[in-house]
Amino acid sequence: MLARSRRKRRGGPEPKANRLERARNPRLPSDRCLGVVSPSCGAARGLRWPQGRGVLRRRRPARRQWRRRRQRKRSWSRRWREQRRKRTRSIYPVRTRRTIACDGGGYTLDLEREEEKENLKRMIRAHAQVIRAVFLFKEAGQKNLGESYSSIKLETLSQRFPVDLKKLTMLNRDHDTFIFQEVGGVRGLSDLLKSNLNKGVSPDEDELLRRRDIFGANTYPRKKRRSIWRFVFEACQDLTLVILMVAAAISLSLGMATEGAKDGWYDGGSIFFAVFLVIFVTATSDYRQSLQFQHLNEEKQNIQVEVIRGGKRIGASIFDLVVGDVVPLKIGDQVPADGILISGHSLAIDESSMTGESKIVHKDQRAPFLMSGCKVADGYGSMLVTGVGTNTEWGMLMANLSEDVGEETPLQVRLNGVATLIGIVGLSVAAAVLVVLWIRYFTGHTKNSDGTTQFVAGTTGVKQGFMGAIRIITIAVTIVVVAVPEGLPLAVTLTLAYSMRKMMQDKALVRRLSSCETMGSATTICSDKTGTLTTNKMTVVEAYFGGTKFDPCDNTGMMCTSVTALLIEGIAQNTNGTVFRPEDGGAAEVTGSPTEKAILSWGLMIGMDFKDVRSKSSIIHVHPFNSEKKCGGVALQVSDTEVHIHWKGAAEILLASCRSWLSTDGSVQPMSSSKHREFKKWIDDMAMSSLRCVAFAYCPCEPKMVPTESLDKWKLPEDDLTLIGVLGIKDPCRPGVRNAVQLCSIAGVKVRMVTGDNVETAKAIALECGILDTKDAASEPIVIEGKVFRDMSEAAREEIVEKITVMGRSSPNDKLLLVQSLKRKGHVVAVTGDGTNDAPALHEADIGLSMGISGTEVAKESSDIIILDDDFTSVVKVVRWGRSVYANIQKFIQFQLTVNVAALVINVVAAMSSGDVPLNAVELLWVNLIMDTLGALALATEPPIDNLMKRHPVGRREPLVTNIMWRNIFIQALYQIAVLLIFNFDGKRILHLQNESREHADKMKNTFVFNAFVFCQIFNEFNARKPEEKNVFKGVTNNHLFMGIAGATTGLQILIIEFLGKFFDTARLNWRLWLLSVAIGAVSWPLAYLGKFIPVPVRPFQTYFKRCSCRRKPRQDEEQGGRS
């Protein structure tokens, strides 16, 4: 209600009623404002738009305004107002309601008067429509905007579009149908965006760049990558390194206090240097792996989409889309940006990724808004892009996601358990060594190099005694550092990163890390036929129409024009493909699926004018191709009195629905049993020639049979069809597939073909690929139809599942049942798939392999690995890389356990017996660097060898350390312990150091032991490359990284001994001791060669202990039972 203000002049204080109302609703403008409207609307009403404010000042006298409103209010009846308001709300639901206040010379608008607000809004919108129409008329001039690109001239780079980014973003996010209708629907919006609904935007780079500048790019800001200093900080949090740094700090301060700054800093400083070196190398390695994984994540998000530009369908990255693009959508696609539906048939969208609701939403002209990130669940259509990047809900969501820190694979979990167990053993040994050394030290049994006692009670000073205790702690902590195999998880990360990078070169994109290692255990591969085993480059080679075989297949001159026209109508309209003819008269470009491209190309050969045929009839309803029914249909309005229903699909399935057939003269003949057998024989003959058989059928329909309402739910007639003809499409096998299948057979991996094609076609392709041989082809359980397998009981399926090699006419559900049955039989199953309906089977399988070219986004999201070239040989390469990951991890485990056992035993025995260790803290840190980071880097990057595919798959529950590895570890560790302990206890005599001073002789002896120990690891690194082969040098020169690391380790060892003696507490060695050190290390080569002749049992050693424990347990149970 309007309340009269008591103030007499304008510009006075605001009325109290207004202030109270604005206090309740802070969004209300002041009483001097008309409302929040656009500048164009204000210009239409002669109002002035103040700078910097979102409101309009009114100029009309307040009293005259009030009288007019009172008169309008009295003339309206309450009943009419109520009906009008309900109708307005039902047609145009406005989500965001604005509140309007006016100054009226002392009057304010009561918020309860809803009709006043609605009336004012309608007036403003009407004026906005007029302004928009005038603007468009002025913009277009005398030209037709829908005609061509030449009519849409973008004159300068700075020229703005009639719609701004803010309003466009509001339209996308609010899904405001009222605003959408105001601008003239999708056609009006496309005019505002200067796009063409049929041809899209211009492909000119300057035009695309201009649109990105104004409306934004289809990208979102990435989370700032972690810097290398972050990895340095994480490396510094290692508890053992922290203890070492504390000990180094104490040693440094006490050393400088007792021995002076010149000589006292060496012990503590050298430990600091070694710790910082370990931290730097670890952080650098982790940082490099982080960059690699980030690059792979970006590859996963780079989705390829189809877009129409310049009237031509082209492939583009999802990041290259711009506002105004026209994007075709089909089942399985991801909606690449926010947009408006242009046209569609049975289009259903899964919006669960945005709304959280699993309900499928059907899109049409009443609900045209499409959200980025959602999936097309059914149907097809096209959309106009209206929002990209962070101007979409999906973009904002992705921009706010935290950085992916990676996943921990099952192998990493197992290795962490192994490392923890070994760490506990090392910690226990270090604690024992610490106690023993302290007892020996404080009881006076620890001697200096000159033979004097290190600690004498009552004589030794506090600082000196404290220094000795700290030195012992440093030795114990360093034993822990060496004993804990921290390099095991690092080796897995390095191996996975290296393998993933190399697999990208082999056309395989890994989406989940765990699939790399799981692929090495695969026992069976369930592969699609089309595009995986075959080239997916289809051509029509046979044609049967009107009961006649055409030879050549495009010689349709014997058919009458009515039959040819009907056939061309079915080809042109019942397809998702398109034909683009360049204006320069070049060859026509056909797009679509491989099958549709083959059919459309054949249609062009028989005289089809794609554009002309499509213009002669309009599509009423579409039944999209269904992988369950194996066919798809379309209803066409040919004239006011005639409707045609066209079907296309699997030949034998459509043949069963036909009650008549069309002869070459255009007459309709009944489908007799003999004619049916004749058509069936043609289909079988084509199938046995490995041809895909596609049939065309139609039936006329009266217009009155077409429902006027709920057209989307109309079920097209499927019976009483008339068969037009059958095409035979050739899809040849890929080169190299036969060899790849044989390689899988040698590797113990069973290849099974699962296809939706005819059983005879599947059998012929399987024979051609080597999946079947001639002996197996006749037996029925080996080649089975999907329906037969589906109708079996679960027990019956499990009984025959391992015999199945080829499954024809299978549905996605049949593939899922096959995977489940194989898994219950203990198989590790890999499955290939490309369709949306393959998603359940891909998700259920141990390894899901989707196709990068023909695969839908839904299939890719459900898969673990994407095969980028759709080639089966790439699948086999993935198996090879999976086995290589496992093998490289085993190589590193063998190498590291050898170092761990040898270093631990040598130091413990020496400490227990003499109270000192031959390998000091700095030397052990250098050894730790060799065996952890550098060793992992050298062995984890070994390329896969051919011998990997001659082994059977590794069971996922088999122990990581095999009997062969235990043998190799035992031989090398025993040799190193024996030789180095001999030199430790009797080295002065063996090395002829009796003439040297005792201190110098001890330093020379310890330096020699350290040098020989390091060279033992360098030579043993070569042995670890080939745990089972006698020739450990095979292919070593091809691994440049391995050779580089081995050379760098040798060079650094020489540098340490000869030039860094102060830091490492070592002495320079003469050439005889150098040769002897190298010779001791080199002995490991012939020793490893001879050791491989020692036979080992196939059964793992661990199972013997488990069996013993299992035998003891029943006895214990019996004893307990007897006691009770």
Contacts of 803 (CB under 8 A, 6+ apart): 781, 782
Residue that the structure tokens 């505002």 belong to: 192
Phi-psi category of residue 926: left, alpha or beta, with phi > 0 → left and psi -120 to 50 → alpha = alpha
CA angle 1101, 1105, 1106 (to 5 degrees): 110
- Longest CA–CA span in the chain (Å) reads 127
Q: What is the CA radius of gyration of the chain?
A: 40
Is the CB of residue 1111 less than 8 Å from the CB of residue 1046?
A: no
Please check whether residue 305 is in contact with residue 320, taking contact to mean a CB–CB distance below 8 angstroms.
no
Say if residues 715 and 664 touch (Cβ distance below 8 Å): no
Distances 321 to 157, 218, 302, 374, 478 between C-alpha atoms, Å: 19, 6, 12, 16, 57
Helices (H), 92-201: 114-140, 165-174, 177-182, 185-192
- For residues 241 and 282, give the distance between their C-alpha atoms in angstroms, rounded to a whole number: 12
Residue with tokens 């599509």: 619
Contact, 724 vs 696, CB < 8 A? yes
Close Cβ partners of 246 (under 8 Å, ≥ 6 residues apart): none
Return the closest-CA partner of residue 510 out of 862, 836, 867, 876: 867
Half-sphere exposure of residue 1084: CA atoms within 13 angstroms, side-chain side: 33
Q: Is 528 a catalytic residue?
A: yes
At which residue do the structure tokens 């009266």 appear? 702
- The owner of tokens 């301060």 is 253
CB 102 within 8 A of CB 110: no
Token output for 1069: 């060695």
Assigned token pair, 1119 = 């004893």
Token readout for 1089 is 């060669």
State the residue for tokens 């060669």: 1089
The pair of structure tokens assigned to 883 is 């086995």
Give 316's strand partners: 305
Q: For residues 55 and 48, give the distance between their C-alpha atoms in angstroms, rounded to a whole number.
A: 10
Q: Give me the residue label for tokens 């499927």.
A: 718
Nearest to 530 by CA among 796, 152, 834, 322: 834
3-state SS class at 367: strand
Separation between Cα atoms, residue 389 and residue 395, nearest integer Å: 5
- Residue 796's SS3 state is helix
Strands 783-785 and 806-808, bridge-based pairing: parallel
Please give the full DSSP string across 1002-1059, using - where no structure is assigned: HHHHHHHHHHHHHHHHHHHHHHHH-SS-S-TTTTGGG-HHHHHHHHHHHHHHHHHHHH
Tokens describing residue 619: 């599509």
In three-state secondary structure terms, 743 is helix
In whole angstroms, give the CA distance from residue 564 to residue 808: 32
Spot the catalytic one: 338, 350, 528, 916: 528
Q: Which single residue is written with the structure tokens 């302290």?
A: 438
Orientation angle between helical segments 963-990 and 872-914, nearest 10 degrees: 40
Tokens coding 849: 């392999």
In angstroms, the CA 881 to CA 849 distance is 14
Q: Is 212 helix (H, G, I), strand (E, B) or coil?
A: helix
Tokens of 210: 């201009």
Written as one letter, the residue type at 159 is Q
Residues with catalytic annotation?
528
